[in-house]
Structure 1
Amino acid sequence: MKQLHAPLAWVEGRWQRDVLLTVENGHWTAIVPGQLAPPDAELLAGPLIPSLVNAHSHAFQRAFVGLAERREAGQDDFWSWRDRMYALALRISPQQLRAVAAQLYAELLRGGYTQVCEFHYLHHPAQGEAFDDDLDMAWALASAAEEAGIGLTLMPVVYTRSGFGAQGLRPDQHRFAADADWAWRACQRIQAAGLPRVTAGVALHSLRGASPADIARLRQLVGSDDLPIHIHVAEQTAEVADCLAATGRRPIQWLAEEGLLDARWQLVHATHATAAEIEAVAASGAGIVICPGTEANLGDGLADLPRWLHHGVPLTVGSDSQVTRGWVEELRWLEYGQRLVLRQRNVAADPGTQPSSAARLFDAAVAGGGRAAGLGLWGLVPGARADALVLNREADGLRGLPDEALLDAVVFGSNGSPWQSVWVAGRARPWRAPQRVGEAFDAAMRELWGTG
């Protein structure tokens, strides 16, 4: 057991002074404001805030960042980007994936995330040969997370078809093949491994990538187990149109009307949702994961943030394709996207309950992130893992500000990583990638792309 003392901490949705935090077995056991520091307490050098969960990640795509930002001819959109991304997905090895993921996870720590939900669908060897272990790619991710010091929720993905009405996957998708039974066995094996700070959930790639029979089977296997179930949904207008043509219903409408959704479900992107669909999700208790950086990069569109917030739907963020790797930028663009389209300011704020846009989005992401990762409690609350960020009041954008403006400035005025330290399970973690991690990443990039 040890005690930490923060001069200022974000507790219960507001700044509170002289907060004494007790840590035991890597979890908060007590958080008490208005306390003098005991002689043996560790004094934190700046204000303390919760870290966030990165609720949606494809780690391998870190090796593709910056390599799809040109248009040589024709139109470029999500689908053309996806075809180019497959060139990476089809050849990355477990060793290369480990190197890429270790670099990414170190960067995510620097970006203020201390847990990452890995939406994992690179299951099989690139050339069709068998791995020694079916989960070699998953274990590579777990090993990378351990080296970086970040928590990991691994979610094996069900992926059985290339589109609505298709009988299977395309040749360039054969690595992804996994039915509900395979994904469930993988989830159980990951849980049984007992790796530190590693847990598991399950995922369905999308309604176009998993059939109704796949979804029904996975639901049967999961039963009443309390674990996260994630799915890409309504990210692209073409996906919505295809779903309508195939089923007569929109994707979120289909999930809701089939009675599938409950508090375990996380709808990733949910960009193109109608008012009726948002109300149905709210009634179900399901949450959403918005990835503003990736959604902007891929030209997906903007979610109806005001309506999601109005209906109290649990909401958090993810890095997805890894073009952004810090939650400050994700929250900033979650708000800025709305400002641009609505030509208003402080769209996320609620003058009646929380007039700060930053605070409302941050508190939503803290609460929604724990649920998305299957961790239950999250943040500066007793019982949660003792993860947090210590702010640097001399960082660009923060110095000289009154206390009450600090969180606003973190989101809308800082350069993105205004922390002095990042804490995971009650320990301050190095949040710059060790030299060996960077060197392994460089070597993997040379092998994958012939660089350097």
Structure 2
Amino acid sequence: MRLHAEYAWLPGAAEPSRDVLIEVADGRFGAVTAGVPAPAGARRLPGVTLPGLANAHSHAFHRALRGRTHGGRGDFWSWREQMYAVADRLDPQRYLALARAVYAEMALAGITCVGEFHYLHHDRDGGRYADANAMSEALVAAAAQAGIRITLLDTCYLSAGVDGAPLTGAQRRFGDGDADRWAQRVDAFAPAGGHVRVGAAVHSVRAVPAAQLPVVAAWARERDAPLHLHLSEQPAENEACQAAYGRSPAELLADAGVLGPRTTAVHATHLGDTDVRLLGTSRTGVCFCPTTERDLADGIGPAPQLAAAGSPLSLGSDSHAVIDPFEEARGLELDERLRSRVRGTFTAAELLSAASRAGHEALGWSDAGGIATGQRADLVTVALDRVRTAGVPPTGVLFAAGAADVTDVLVDGRPVVTAGMHTTVDVPAELGAAISAVTR
């Protein structure tokens, strides 16, 4: 396959290059040459072509809450009860249908790889399905059918609070009893296909007691697998951890051997100076989810301080209040402007790196996220002739474009979105049906 991009954003560049010839073979980029006319037979890509974008933090079933939880008063904790009600209605078949449609929506937005932070493991009474990893199988199959890659971050979730209270209600579906049984279940999961990798997750210090943390960290370390965790999303989490352990969540995780370059902390909203230093010096990545953090009134995290300390930054859509990686990327900069009243903390190239290369690396796909020879052939083309992008210079697409402006997406060299349409999934119809099935 030979492609000719009107503009393409190449690795390390401050702005897109013009007239880029891109060769693809066996799902990888071959030669990438800028400044050449379109040769005969090459497929034209008008607009700006970006590397594939990575959604480093997703809870697929939360998509069913969009438009249902935004109008009333409340906070994260009241929203969580509505989320549990949806979780209680899912089974493997329904989850496959919902996740397939959600992942196809991601593909339409330019996302070529998702990190699924997966804790909905068991049946409604907390008992295991005949196949203990049936829900995991559903998510892996959903990604394959939607045409994107997935890192399944199998999440350890053992208690209802820092005090070790037992799981009740819908939470019973999340737990394996202890970290050893969690590890045994995950070890039994061997998904097929080159589109999937399996990593680990600690839900939070609320959900995994301190004594159990080293087991999860060791599982990931022994397999060189990604390890993700929710960190300091709410002040109440910090206060409870301090009361129980005399340390902040970041300090507790550092003492348990959880932090490090394979680890990504999600949200990291309410951090002290010591927490920032611990994350940065250990090269622990941080995934920000700006649209969810503002939707849930979580707050604005210290992104510049974390980046300066040494933490790579990535992006996720988390609860899917919207699925739009352009909005997440510019949200990192625009939310910081609100907090600091200073413009231009992050350049457009830095925002693109967070949305592409850094996200893929956080998910264990270090061979993706850049338009360069040998990398996975993921491409996202954004139109420059839409209402939102007309007259916008190519460098401005991250601040002007939205998911609806994506015209073409390739994943591992395969067309998944063409002319703004998913090649195999009727996304609106499938989303509507799948969400109706779990919200009636």
TM over 0.5, shorter chain? yes
Q: CA deviation at 1:239?
A: 0.4
Residue in structure 2 matching 1:426, options 404, 413, 420: 413
User: Counterpart of 1:289?
Assistant: 287
The structure-2 alpha-carbon separation of the partners of 1:59 and 1:374, relative to structure 1 and needing over 3 Å to count, comes to: same
SS where residue 421 of structure 1 aligns?
strand
CA contact (8 A) 1:230 1:266 kept: yes
1:406 corresponding residue in structure 2? 394
Q: When the two structures are aligned, how many residues end up with a matched partner?
A: 433
User: Would you say the 8 A contact 2:164–2:209 is kept in 1?
Assistant: no
Partner amino acid for 1:422? V
Whether contact under 8 Å (2:137, 2:191) holds in the other structure is: no
Q: Is the 8 A contact 1:396 1:418 kept in 2?
A: no
Aligned to 2:217, the other structure's residue is in SS state: helix
Which of 418, 434, 439 pairs up with 1:444?
A: 434
Of 187, 197, 200, the match for 2:198? 200
> C-alpha offsets along residues 189-218 of structure 1, whole Å, 9 cap, x if unaligned?
54x332241111111111110112221112
Mapped to 1, the partners of 2:428 and 2:323 lie a distance apart of 16
Distance in 2 between residues matched to 1:340 and 1:441, nearest whole Å: 34
Q: 1:212 to 1:193 in 2, by over 3 A?
A: same
Deviation string for 1:291-321 (max 9, x for gaps)?
0111111111101122123234211111111
Cα distance in 2 for residues equivalent to 1:435 and 1:299 = 33
Cα deviation per residue 1:12-67 (whole Å; 9 max; x = unaligned)? 23222332323222122332334455545433333321121100000011111111
CA distance in 2, matches of 1:188, 1:258: 22
Aligned twin of 1:374: 364
Is residue 7–residue 46 contact of structure 2 (8 Å, CA) maintained in 1? no
1:50-449 residue pairs with structure 2 within 5 A?
A: 50-71=51-72, 76-128=74-126, 130-178=128-176, 179-190=178-189, 192-348=190-346, 357-378=347-368, 379-401=370-392, 405-408=393-396, 410-430=397-417, 432=421, 438-449=428-439
Give the deviation of 1:387 after TM superposition. Answer: 0.6
Alpha-carbon shift at residue 415 of structure 1 (Å): 4.1
Shift of 1:374: 0.6
Work out the CA distance in 2 between the residues paired with 1:211 and 1:30: 50
SS at match of 1:44: strand
Query: More displaced, 117-126 or 205-214?
Result: 205-214
1:137-162 deviations in Å (ceiling 9; x for gaps):
11111222122111111111101111
Q: CA deviation at 1:361?
A: 1.5
**Which AA in structure 2 matches 1:369?**
G
Q: Give the 3 Å change call, closer, same or farther, for CA 435–118 of structure 1 in structure 2.
A: closer
**Runs of 5+ in structure 1 lacking a partner?**
349-356
Cα contact 1:184–1:221 (8 A) shared by 2? yes
C-alpha separation in 2, matches of 1:232 and 1:54: 15
CA contact (8 A) 2:51 2:371 kept: yes
Contact 2:140–2:150 (Cα < 8 Å) also in 1 = yes
Residue 100 and residue 407 in structure 1: after superposition, are their counterparts in 2 closer, same or farther (change >3 A)?
farther
Give the distance between the partners of 2:273 and 2:99, measured in 1 at CA.
38
Quote the Cα distance in structure 2 between the aligned partners of 1:125 and 1:268: 27
How much does 1:185 deviate? Answer: 4.2
Structure-1-length-normalised TM-score:
0.89
CA distance in 2, matches of 1:116, 1:239: 26
1:130 Cα offset (Å): 4.3
Tell me which amino acid in the other structure corresponds to 1:417: A
Which amino acid counterpart does residue 371 of structure 2 have in structure 1?
L
